[in-house]
Amino acid sequence: MNYRHAYHAGNFADVLKHTVLRALIESLQAKPAPFCYIDTHAGSGNYPLEGFEARKTGEHKDGITRLHPAEKVPALLQRWRAGILSGEGNEDGLKFYPGSPLQVARLLRPNDSAQLCELHAEEAAKLRQLLHRDPRLHVHQRDGYEALKALLPPKEKRGLVLIDPPYEAQEAEYKLIEHALKTALQRWPTGMYAVWYPIKLRSQVQPFLRGLQRIGARRVLRVELLVHPDDSPLRLNGSGMAILNAPWNLDDVLREPLRALGSLLSQDRPAETRLDWILQEGAEPPAPSP
Ligand code: SAM
């Protein structure tokens, strides 16, 4: 477990992931009934952009830093960016980038709750230190895949699971995700599940996405943003989110924000985006690959 999110916080992949996360939380807030948010790989919660790790990679400069407040962006992105900038420590400009648990914690209503799993002891301790005063938030230092079994279904009966692992061993991680989701969907078939994935080689991602179409979700939306061609295993060329049981109109909600992110986050060529239902409600899942 060498991965530390502090090196990558606020990069172009985080911008995509957290914009989609915001859209999903807003869709849950459209109804008054409380919801539960479960983060299987939560990280430490808040990342100083002037800290050693962020300065070493500078990744946020091609991510959140490109969404300058003066830039006119679609409403979802405006709300998301305002949420980042309104956090403690950012009064004089962007100094901290909040991770998924902190972004969601700021949006929870009085009866909503969050279960936040982080395996790494130091990261979990930082997360607990950050959030322990809020009784709606529960930090678990444990394996997020194992925890899912125990946490589902949540008492609120509605909500979202975010699966955002480090992919230190890519093929093994795909298997863990698929297995965890299969079990989770059996225990809680109506839950929403958002899975982040890196894109290096397209050929590595395809079998994984095909697998996600066959594990019992009603529908699956894919959202991707590529800043480089997806043909090199040596760097992060882009990333995606597969959203199982996504709200039926999520594609419409994300269309303009994704287009805007495509132009804001382009690097050496125009960024490429994808937004499509890879499993439609009522459709037959694709046959397994031979
Ligand atoms: N979700 C966070 C966000 O968006 O701000 C970032 C999470 S980071 C990509 C992945 C985290 O998963 C790391 O902090 C790592 O220590 C943790 N981790 C690795 N394996 C894990 C496991 N099996 N269960 C829970 N956490 C794990």
Question: What pLDDT was estimated at residue 69?
Answer: 77
Q: 268 catalytic, yes or no?
A: no
Indicate the SS3 state at residue 159.
strand
Mutate to test the pocket of ligand 1, among 5, 146, 175, 196 (most ligand atoms within 8 A of CB): 5
Using alpha carbons, list the distances in angstroms from residue 137 to 30, 52, 132, 289.
21, 28, 7, 41
ipTM above 0.95, yes or no: yes
pLDDT of residue 234: 84
The protein residue whose alpha carbon is closest to atom 1 in ligand 1 is 42
Q: Among 1, 84, 118, 195, name the best residue to mutate to test ligand 1's pocket (greatest count of ligand atoms within 8 A of Cβ).
A: 118
DSSP β-ladder status, 220-226 and 238-244: antiparallel
What is the atom index within ligand 1 of the atom nearest the CA of 143? 24
CATH class of the domain at 5-279: alpha beta
| Pairing mode, strands 113-117 and 36-39 | parallel
From first to last of its 290 residues, the chain has per-residue pLDDT tens of 789 999 999 999 999 999 999 999 999 999 999 999 999 999 999 999 999 999 999 999 999 999 987 789 999 999 999 999 998 899 999 999 999 999 999 999 999 999 999 999 999 999 999 999 999 999 999 999 999 999 999 999 999 999 999 999 988 999 999 999 999 999 999 999 999 999 999 999 999 999 999 999 999 999 999 999 998 888 999 999 999 999 999 999 999 999 999 999 999 899 999 999 999 998 888 877 66
Query: Domain extents for the chain?
Result: 5-279
Give the three-state DSSP class for 30. Answer: coil
